[in-house]
Amino acid sequence: MRKNMFLATAAVASALTAPIAAQAQGTVGVTGGNTVVIESGGGLTADQRPAFQEYVVSQRVPAFTIPDRIVVGAVLPEAGVTYYDVPQRFGSTPYRYTVVNGTTVLVEPRSRRIVQVID
């Protein structure tokens, strides 16, 4: 009985601290009522974002429109989206970028999941 109580207490404590740990490790977004954590690393820093946004505008990347909100964790459609490499001058990243609903986003290419919204 004591062992079960201890396990239950540990599970509750773990559940309560998980969001704090998740926020410290990556970007947190909410999609469809579910919290999605994207591990940090590979994205753009706050200092890089303005220059990257200028780069994207200068490239005249065609935007596409979807009915969904653009949030971290959202998955883009399988067809009709073109992804572009992030130039090396912005650092090495496993992600690609595209423009959705007028907003530049970084996307994990295999899953098509948005990992960073560039404002």
User: DSSP for 19-37?
Assistant: HHHHHHHEEEEEETTEEEE
CB 46 within 8 A of CB 4: no
Tokens of 102: 């007028």
Q: What is the pLDDT of residues 4-52, one digit of tens each?
A: 544 444 444 444 433 333 333 344 444 444 444 444 457 999 999 999 9
In a domain, 20, yes or no: no
Which residues are CB-neighbours of 11 under 8 A, at least 6 positions away?
none
Residue at 21 is within a domain: no
Domain total of the chain:
1
Residue 107 is assigned to a structural domain of this protein: yes
Q: Give the confidence band of 119 by pLDDT, cuts at 50, 70, 90.
A: confident
For residue 36, the enclosing domain spans 27-118
> What is the model's pLDDT at position 45?
93
Domain membership of residue 1 (yes or no) is: no
Q: Evaluate whether residue 70 is within a structural domain.
A: yes
* 0.85 surpassed by pTM: no
Question: Domain holding 41: CATH number?
Answer: 3.10.450
Structure tokens at 104: 């530049």
Give Cα 68 distance to the centre of its chain. 15
- Kindly report, residue by residue over 61-105, the tens digit of the pLDDT: 999 999 988 999 999 998 889 999 999 999 999 999 999 999 999
